[in-house]
Homo-oligomer: A and B are copies of this chain.
Amino acid sequence: VKPDLFKYRLGAKPIYQRLRDQIANGDYALGQAIPSSRALARELGVSRTTVTVAYEQLAAEGYVSVRQGSRPVIAVSFADQETRIENPTPPKSWHQNMSRYGRKLADLGDLPQPSPERLLVNFRYGEVDFRNFPAGLWRKAITAAISQRFDVLAYGQPQGSLTLRRALQKYLWRARSINCHIGQIFVVSGSQQGLDILSRILLDPESKFIIENPCYGMARLAFATNGATPIPIEVDEFGMVTSELGDHDARLAYVTPSHQYPLGGVLPVERRLELLEWSTKQDAWIIEDDYDSEFRYDVKPLPPLWAVADNDRVIYVGTVSKTLSPRMRIGYVIVPDTLIRVFEAAKQLADRHSSMLEQDALAELIESGGYERHIRRQRRVNQKRRERLIEAMEAQFGQLVKIEGTQAGLHVVAWFNDLPASSEERLIDRARELGVGIYSVRPLCNPPLSQNGKDRIGLVMGYGSIDEALINKGVRLLKKAYLDTKSAIE
């Protein structure tokens, strides 16, 4: 097929067609002015006559109205179109032109997406109540950061903003007993990027990795999609059952010792030591995801593995997604000296560095003390939410439900003793009809749990984004969904 030279000289027809498509797409609002023919002609490098011909055609078909001396104005209205392509599964032939990684992604099916659904009460984990966001402090910090003056605007360091790393170093020491030098700290675009980079620099397709079961799904995907094989280790109410680590020969273990996700256990000291011992013996890395350790309630904090390990094998991952906002995309990774250079190169090739403005603002927020005051305030707010939730669940369900994982974090797990696992979908659907979002533990289990979850319904109930007053209402509606489900299956 000989390509058409004509296409390099834009004529009136393609200009007309594209504008028409855009108008039909709802990209312009009714009454909005489009560029003048002179301006568009200049931008496109075509004659003004060419644009005028296109505009006249659009006017003739009623898309725009043209008046002498002013810019044409959109004359029709189209509703916003659905922008997500629902089924763009590539035909098999296209697969040949992707990498194995790409083909794997194509076959993954849909990853969890934020749903735009409006619910009365949504127990989804991972969201933050906007009313708790320190908007005033953040505006002040952003304003300070945006007022910085530079000689030239140049790329920053792959490690991230120096002021933020200095602030984080001190914060992590105060808050988590972590003693590291600044060169070990990397600012990443959310902990997800940290996990993805670690997966790339540590795991080959033929590698194995230890993962908790159930676990944080996006971590499992980050490690497994590169091709590595997961070795799932069962989790009980105290976290990973480390006695099952045995002699498993894996390149790394991904763990959430401060507050197991999703089951909520705080890993006891004995198990921590067993895990560290395993890592020394197997010469394996430990990735410690400390995703919500800022929120702990009745317990004395245990220092993270990073602070007590003496084997240079622990990599620490933290985030501000739970303390500030998941939309901000700021996380941090602390690596042993031996990984600094490789992590730096990987981060630089991945995106050069994370955006600087919000990093500098966060540094300002931490240095001013505002970040830790905000966390202390949030700890109290979330402690109340947690109490409200536990009280309400006990009042409504009593012995029918067992609540676990309550010592820390922003979620608990509720095990329903009295409904068969087979009725789970029905319970979730009924709750949704009543305006309550609930989420099963099951999709996070792979393979299915052998003990705890075997024939029970387990719900991950996040409370970090729910108004205290609504928690009771949500649980009452959940009780109604439970009763409806119960009578439907009997």
Contacts and interface: CB of A to CB of B under 8 A. Distances in A.
- Oligomer: number of copies: 2
B302 A8 contact: yes
Contacts of A25: 181-182
Interface in A307-357: 308, 310, 325-330, 337-342, 345-346, 348-357
A202 B97 contact: yes
Interface stretch (A58-66, A100-108, A258-266, A395-403): A100-108
Closest 6 pairs (CB-CB, A-B): A102-B201, A193-B351, A105-B345, A189-B351, A153-B325, A329-B355
Contacts of A174: 35, 40, 43-44
Contact of A111 (B18, B40, B348): B348
Contacts of A99: 200-204, 207
Given A114-B155, A218-B352, 7 more contacts: A1-B277, A7-B308, A83-B182, A88-B341, A101-B200, A102-B346, A153-B327
Interface in A179-215: 179, 181-183, 188-190, 192-193, 196, 200-204, 207
B146 A130 contact: no
A439 interface: no
Interface residues of A, number: 136
A183 B27 CA distance: 13
Interface in A135-154: 135, 138-139, 142-143, 146, 149-154
Interface of A: 1-3, 5, 7-8, 10, 14, 17-18, 21-22, 25, 27-28, 35, 40, 43-45, 83-85, 88-91, 94, 96-102, 105-106, 108, 111, 113-114, 122, 124, 126-130, 133, 135, 138-139, 142-143, 146, 149-158, 162, 165-166, 169-170, 173-175, 177, 179, 181-183, 188-190, 192-193, 196, 200-204, 207, 218, 221-222, 225, 251, 269, 272-273, 276-277, 280, 283-285, 300-303, 308, 310, 325-330, 337-342, 345-346, 348-358, 465
Contacts of A90: 338-339, 341-342
A51 to B, nearest CB: 11
A275 to B, nearest CB: 10
A351 B329 contact: yes
A353 B341 contact: no
A346 B179 contact: no
A196 to B, nearest CB: 5
A201 B328 contact: no
B152 A142 contact: no
A306 B207 CA distance: 39
